[in-house]
Amino acid sequence: MIGRRQQVALALTAVLAAGAACQNQNREPGTQGHAAPAPSGGFTLVASGDVLPHTSVIERASFDAGGSGYDFRPMLAGVQPVVAHADLALCHMETVYGADGDYSGYPVFKSPPEVAGALVATGYDGCSTASNHALDDGAEGIRRTLDAMDKAGLRHSGTARSEAEARSVKLFRAGGAKVAHLSYTFGTNDNPLPDGQPWAVNLIDPDRMIADARAARQGGADVVVVSVHWGTEWQDEPDRLQLGLAQQLTASASANRPDIDLVLGTHAHVPQAYEKVNGTWVVYGMGDQIAGEMYNAEGAQDPRGNQSTLGRFTFDPPARKGEPWRVTRAEFVPQVYDLDAGRVVNLNRAIAQGAGLEGVRDRIRDVVLSRGAAQDGLVMGE
């Protein structure tokens, strides 16, 4: 007789195998399920939480590569249809990359650079990189990471190899819009900024963040998205810093339009609420998209550390010149990193195929909607 967790793992394995088998059959590039297409000129943006490869995750990628190198693509295949369908998809790369087999998990992370190629293959266009682990290997770790991302075609924001790079505006084309992506972190685990490189990691500073958003707008951005690594680990509710900073960022406006159009939060290891603040959507925390077995502040293994959401926002173009782009549809997709299978799972699809994870999905839903987002139109997507 097998236990409940093993039953769930077997069901998930069947779901993942079926998804992999049919993923590229009878599907035009960029189509998925029941997701509605963006209106003419508009675009959809998908964002996800922390990619945090612990040692067990690295070992899984080695196994999936057949022992020769590291393959993270199977790990992400379950959410590839949602990610690839978006006009713009943003991830959060919490760790820096190692080289020549020098890879490690907690507490000093150095991930295989192959993860960047897997994120691109999944459909991600760029990642935020400002995090508390951004200086785990000093300036060299940042350089190695951004070099690998460049090679893979994965754009990045939040850390830099030069002052010029730090000051540059990162613009994506999505539908008829130019979208700027900015990224900041609360700190770097007491690792000091490299000598002579105060620009190496973007740190949270409300005045600077607003100034950067305005500079991005002046640089041609129609939409400004800000990723923030913040919050209290293992706390479902946003903390005082998150609530206060969200108010400051979303209240800032120039020429009758908000300076920041969307705020995406990471770091807390657990899904947190979505909320419309001053008319702008804020995701306080998306949770860990990829992570090994997680232990909370009491030292207990905590399954919430492998739960997360994908945020999906549909932007419509302004009706008149000078008006802001607006989010006309806001969705969240609950997901979990299955430790036994070593796969990211779209919970709604897994449940539809009999995986029996309604309780996990419902807990994520309740947290996401805990600050009244449903009244402002947030829905659970597929």
pLDDT in tens, 313-328: 999 999 888 899 999 9
C-alpha to C-alpha distance for 228 and 285, rounded to whole angstroms: 9
Per-residue model confidence (pLDDT) at position 111:
98
The per-residue pLDDT of the chain, averaged, comes to 91
pLDDT in tens, 125-144: 999 999 999 999 999 999 99
The backbone region for 158, taken as left when phi is positive above 0, alpha when psi lies in -120 to 50, beta otherwise, is left
Per-residue model confidence (pLDDT) at position 335:
98
For helices 138-152 and 114-122, angle between their N-to-C axes, nearest 10 degrees: 40
Per-residue model confidence (pLDDT) at position 10:
34
pLDDT band at 37 (very low <50, low <70, confident <90, very high): low
How many domains does the structure of the chain reveal? 1
pLDDT in tens, 93-114: 999 999 999 999 999 999 999 9
- Is pLDDT above 90 for 238? yes
Structure tokens at 289: 């998209």
Q: Specify the amino acid at residue 180.
A: A
Per-residue model confidence (pLDDT) at position 322:
84
pLDDT in tens, 283-302: 999 999 999 999 999 999 99
pLDDT in tens, 168-207: 988 999 999 999 999 999 999 999 999 999 999 999 999 9
- Is pLDDT above 80 for 208? yes
Over residues 53-75, the mean pLDDT reads 97
Residue burial 223-257, b: 16+ Cβ < 10 Å; e: rest? bbbbbbbbbbebbbbbeeebeebbeebbebeeeee
The parent domain of residue 274 ranges over 4-380
Task: Check which CATH number belongs to the domain holding 160 and give it.
Answer: 3.60.21.10
Whether residue 106 contacts residue 233, with contact meaning beta carbons closer than 8 Å, is answered with no
Structure tokens at 266: 């990471």
Per-residue model confidence (pLDDT) at position 170:
87
